Structure 1
């Protein structure tokens, strides 16, 4: 036996041993595959027998639910949804009622199963492999809010502070005459005081040179299951004491008029 054949035999033997097919009912099979997603969770798929002699493969909503449990909501952003749909299309997989799914003939099961597995892994990797991903997603959510309300904001702006060090702001909304320039910072994990103190330092240094300016810090208090995260009072007080406006993302419309001016 050649080395390639030996490796193939070993791989198939391993896969057959590790993959588990289990009948849940007469028409539904659960498949546990020996692959892990970006959260080190095992991937599970289901096969459903249809009356027209086809089968439907589905993740039963597991992929999107798992992402949302980690704070990644695909539907919150048009751009995120577009990327997600393009990724599924590349593997011939559909999203129906938040399930990744495809329906095929019996003979096409092996290929369809492989396509669904690839789609699940691709969607997980696309949104979770970057270590700065959580921050970038909340930054994008704030950007969508500004764009949807026709607020012309410049993203990712660097401003020199009084010490000569350059400080970064997530968005800048230009002022005019009596309307101040508005600077926005975003904090995706707001209950960590280190992030609030870092934002405060940047703002205080910048404000010394940008007198006619207002400063806002958007705090991500929106969880993946639409529950509100309680922000520690000391986080908001730290900002308010320095005349910096904390904005809870769930209450973002409260500053709409002053940002749109």
Structure 2
């Protein structure tokens, strides 16, 4: 069945537009409440401060770093700090005095808001496994699986989509004689907002990458995965593979 990609894009944008709200904090700062949820099911908020006639500061006001500290992540080793910094750099986001920040001109505000929210979501998902009973980070686990399977890949690559927005993808496997380019995204939190955001990125970049590019989603099924999640990916020609069945992907990704 052929899926109307414009329908997905319009539906995603309509959902965000209907769910986002703005509140003026003072003359130069606006608080935006997004439809995206963190691991506590609280809506993520960002703050936009006008600093000059055409310069804006976007910040999470220290929320994400504060959450990491409260989870004990910051004290759990240099590896996680390096991974955090590399992830944020991919989105063009910095940590300044404990806040996730980025700056933008008026023309680029949409892209920078998108990047900041996606960075907040990615960090929140990445460190959901920070409890003492869990031994690793899902991104690290997937990377090790690809390494052990002799899969060649580039991690954390940024692609521009048809919409003009940039999207950070987790792993890109280059085209070979036997297989087309493959893009692998990881889904650690199988919730509606995460799925819709990922499918939007897939279809937005698919138009730019070409019809031969194949898309995969590795889903962390250590958590409950609703059946509609797998079905949603299938509808948009994305192969969703449970982490527990990852060995079934080796042949397709190593080709």
Class of the TM-score when normalised by the shorter of the 2 chains = 0.3 to 0.5
TM-score w.r.t. the length of structure 1 is 0.47
For the pair shown, which has the larger CA radius of gyration, 1 or 2? Answer: 1
TM-score w.r.t. the length of structure 2 is 0.48
Quick one: higher RCO (CA 8 Å, sep 6+), 1 or 2? 2
